[in-house]
Amino acid sequence: MERMTGFDASLLYMETAQQPLVVGGVLFVDVSGLEVGYFFEWLRTELGRRVKELPELRRKIYDSPLNLGHPAWVEEYDLDITAHVRRVDVDHPGDDRAVFEMCGTLGSRPLDRSRPLWEMWVLERLTEPDTIVVYFRAHHAILDGANGADILRTFASAGQQPSARDLDMVRVEAGNANPIRLLAGGWWDFSVRRPLTLARLVPEVAALPFTLRRATAARKKSDDPAPEATGTADATDDLVVVPRAAPFTAPRTRFNATITPHRAVWGASLDLGEISEIKDAFGVTVNDVFLAVSRSPPCRWAVDSTWGSTPASIWPPTPIYWPPRSGRRWPDCWNSPGRRRGRRPPGSADTWNG
């Protein structure tokens, strides 16, 4: 049994019927190169063997009404792969629009918390011959985007012979359920660790009114000409980030509406060669480039439709992945997302200061 981290547990606490905290990916797979041909039952059997090497897909929630701490992860030793890998036929005509609409319908379904928090749908009967679509969904509490990509790469190697899983299976287990350990650890967290954590937060909470006052004062000063406009900017100006608006003063947009459980999925094509050039030029990963590109359209829409030429700036957050430090033990190293904010001046469609 492994106690959940505070971050993983918070993702479970914040989830509602209208706000499922599930990450997913859509893969178009060419099956024409399979020597044995494509059969769904064969594919599901191979994926079931690959799950043995992926501990994050074999763990499930373990909790009790008497537990005063965070829930725990336990091993699902008898994982039923048929409950996680299923297939569905795409609606006519089977084009990309029909595929994404089907993914949106499947993505609106909540995950069963009595099982490991993931599922995979295989979409068949597409217009393009010898092609299937794999729609993978998993709860954010068990993985983030970077680890999800690693899992899909492991799944993609199914069918290789000889299989490393048969020769030397990797068994990193969460362990069995232990009610005494669950309750004792929950009592310790509630009576000792949480009071100490709250005590450390008191100074930050006490300083919050002063932080808000400084932000409001900075907003009043934003009406003054910017250093760039007066020609007095120096080389260090891009390293100093000054708030341009007080908290909770952003204008309402079309996104400020009631959230429903229904989801929409869509996709776009990018030139992998261009992405690789950007990656090499800045010394980052493909995932970093993709995240930077994906945040641009909503910000461009906000500039054109909401703020226009007003002096307020946009502060779009970009999710980033913090690689686990060496020596971190499972499960702490599986979910390591972070966030970074970069200022974007209004009216600038493609220029970023981050």
DSSP string over 213-231: HHHHHHHHHTTSPPHHHHT
- The answer to whether residues 339 and 318 touch, using CB atoms and an 8 Å cutoff, is yes
Place of tokens 């609409």: 101
Q: Compute CA 251 distance to the chain's CA centroid, rounded to the nearest angstrom.
A: 26
Residue in 49, 22, 8, 52 with CA at minimum distance from that of residue 119: 22
Spatial separation of the C-alpha atoms in residues 129 and 131, rounded to whole Å: 5
12 and 141 Cβ atoms separated by less than 8 Å: yes
Helix axes 272-282, 286-294, angle to 10 degrees: 110
| 3-class secondary structure, 61 | strand
The one catalytic residue in 70, 84, 140, 262 is 140
Determine whether 139 is an active site residue.
no
Of 103, 153, 87, the closest CA to residue 266 belongs to 103
Q: Phi then psi for 211, rounded to 5 degrees?
A: -65, -45
Query: Pairing relation of β-strands 59-62 and 72-75?
Result: antiparallel
Q: Among positive and negative, which fits the CA dihedral 344, 350, 353, 354?
A: positive
Q: How far apart are CA 62 and CA 77, in angstroms?
A: 14
Give the residue numbers marked as catalytic: 140
